[in-house]
Amino acid sequence: MKKVGTKSKILDAAQDCVQRVGANAMSYQDISDAVGIQKASIHYHFPTKERLIEALIDRYSERFFSLVQSIVESELSPETKLRRYGLLFEAMLSEGERGKVCLCGILGAELATMSPVATDNIRRFFRENEKRLAEILDEGRREGAFKFEGDSRSMATLVFSLLEGAMLVVRADEGTQRFGAIMRQMIKLVCP
């Protein structure tokens, strides 16, 4: 079994906290309490909260895009790919007592307080999601599975925005079951 190091434990605790309450509400004390270490140990690995947030975005993006890329490159139908993509978001809502939201989605709401590096990486996360969704949508159009007005990139932005926003809305209502209904409606936007 792989031993999890202190740095990974810090990142895990910080990500959990940010996905539940946001970066501005998270403190090193929260992480210290969750991991069972002194705040000085956190500062050793991440001297500033900005550096911690930047490391979180990098790690989260790498993991998320690994999952997304496996969906894009799969032999699944375009409709199934789109559903699987949406299920990545739905799975986050199912984590914990009140669920979690996309790390970059919640950080995007706090963009004005993020470092320039974090801001650029959050924007890159959004653009890369839209790019991969556009690939799925283009494939669906070519195969006749999807029919929608406008270009694929604009539809990809709409789908991505819908999923990110739906997470916040259904979480506020404590109705994560509603997310499935929203996803089904989203599929109807692109399927004939």
110: tokens are 């706090």
Q: CA-to-CA distance for 177 and 93, rounded, in angstroms? A: 9
Kindly give the confidence (pLDDT) of every residue in the chain, 192 residues in length, as a single tens digit, with 9 standing for 90 and above.
455 689 999 999 999 999 989 999 999 999 999 999 999 999 999 999 999 999 999 999 999 999 999 999 999 999 999 999 999 999 888 876 667 899 999 999 999 999 999 999 999 999 999 999 999 999 999 999 999 999 999 999 999 999 999 998 888 876 677 888 898 999 998 987
Domain boundaries, the chain: 54-190
Looking at domain 54-190, its CATH class is mainly alpha
pTM of the model: 0.91
Q: Please list, residue by residue across 9-34, b when 16 or more beta carbons sit within 10 angstroms of its beta carbon and e when fewer do.
A: bbbbbbbbbbbbeebeebebebbbee
